[in-house]
């Protein structure tokens, strides 16, 4: 009874929650992007100094709220030996932010290979992908057309999904808001991967109809009543 009521409470007051993976080679700027995003979207967040960020071992997690939507980020390590762990997170994710270091021409083809492997994974089918051409504050960096050309043979592998290439500087924050707002729009409209909160609802309804107990039925009615009065 308590579980059911607390589930109901959560449904009413929790935001729709989506998991977003931040992927890309090591040194691309993933952790800096996550810190910049948290600083911009969480009013009281006092982040670490961006220049003090060091190599990620394991993963960093961060959460932001954008209106009624909650994004939970998983910033995974990008070193070659850690890339094999990426696909363990695919099934749970609603979106991917793929970060490219626009100043590192030498490793661009390595980044393209990792990207290609990622987008061809079945577990990520239909998941929106935001490609961030990061470090655009550096004068000598590669431009968006340069990067698109280098990644051009991935285009036909993108399939039916939302995909955007966005110029960005995780350090200065340029392009960060635009990227996040685009991602929010895409995950919300992607009916194939409902938010986490919907699972609670589904559980609730399933349980209410599979258990023939009077109080479950009345809670279910209460739930629909609450839904009806929400709008």
Ligand X SMILES: Nc1nc2c(ncn2[C@@H]2O[C@H](COP(=O)(O)OP(=O)(O)O)[C@@H](O)[C@H]2O)c(=O)[nH]1
Known binding site: residues?
24-31, 56, 78, 134-137
Residue 147's binding partner out of ligand X, Mg ion, none, with CB under 5 to 8 Å set by partner kind: none
CB of 106 to Mg ion, least distance (A): 19
Long-range contacts of 159-164 (CB under 8 A, 24+ apart): 159/119, 159/125, 159/126, 160/126, 161/125, 161/126, 161/127, 161/128, 161/129, 162/128, 162/129, 162/186, 162/190, 163/128, 163/129, 163/130, 163/131, 164/129, 164/130, 164/131
CB of 78 to ligand X, least distance (A): 5
- Residues 101-140 binding ligand X (CB under 6 A) are 134-135, 137-138
Residue 29's binding partner out of ligand X, Mg ion, none, with CB under 5 to 8 Å set by partner kind: ligand X
Q: Binding pattern to Mg ion, positions 54-83, x when CB under 5 A? A: --x---------------------------
Among 19, 20, 31, 95, binds Mg ion (CB under 5 A): 31
Cβ contacts of 139 within 8 Å, gap of 6 or more: none
The runs of H, that is alpha helices, within the chain are 2-13, 30-41, 80-83, 108-119, 144-150, 176-189, 196-210, 214-230
Nearer to ligand X, 11 or 41 (CB): 41
- Residues 150-209 binding ligand X (CB under 6 A) are 169-171
Q: Where do contacts with Mg ion occur on this chain (CB under 5 A)?
A: 30-31, 56
């Amino acid at each position: 009874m308590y579980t059911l009521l607390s589930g109901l409470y959560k449904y009413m007051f929790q935001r729709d929650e989506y998991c977003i993976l931040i992927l890309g080679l090591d040194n691309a700027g993933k952790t800096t992007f996550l810190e910049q995003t948290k600083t911009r979207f969480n009013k009281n967040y006092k982040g670490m100094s961006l220049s003090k960020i060091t190599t990620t071992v394991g993963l960093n997690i961060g959460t932001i709220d954008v209106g009624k939507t909650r994004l939970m980020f998983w910033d995974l390590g990008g070193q070659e030996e850690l890339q094999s762990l990426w696909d363990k997170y695919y099934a749970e994710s609603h979106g991917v932010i793929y970060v490219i270091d626009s100043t590192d021409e030498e490793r661009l083809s390595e980044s393209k290979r990792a990207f290609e492997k990622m987008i061809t994974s079945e577990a990520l089918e239909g998941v929106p992908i935001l490609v961030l051409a990061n470090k655009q504050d550096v004068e000598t960096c590669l431009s968006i057309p340069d990067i698109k050309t280098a990644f051009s043979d991935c285009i036909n592998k993108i399939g039916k999904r939302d995909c955007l290439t966005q110029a960005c500087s995780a350090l200065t924050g340029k392009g960060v808001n635009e990227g996040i707002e685009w991602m929010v729009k895409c995950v919300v409209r992607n009916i194939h991967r409902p938010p986490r909160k919907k699972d609670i609802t589904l559980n609730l309804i399933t349980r209410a109809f599979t258990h023939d107990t009077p109080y479950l039925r009345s809670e279910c009615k209460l739930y629909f009543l609450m839904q009806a009065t929400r709008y």
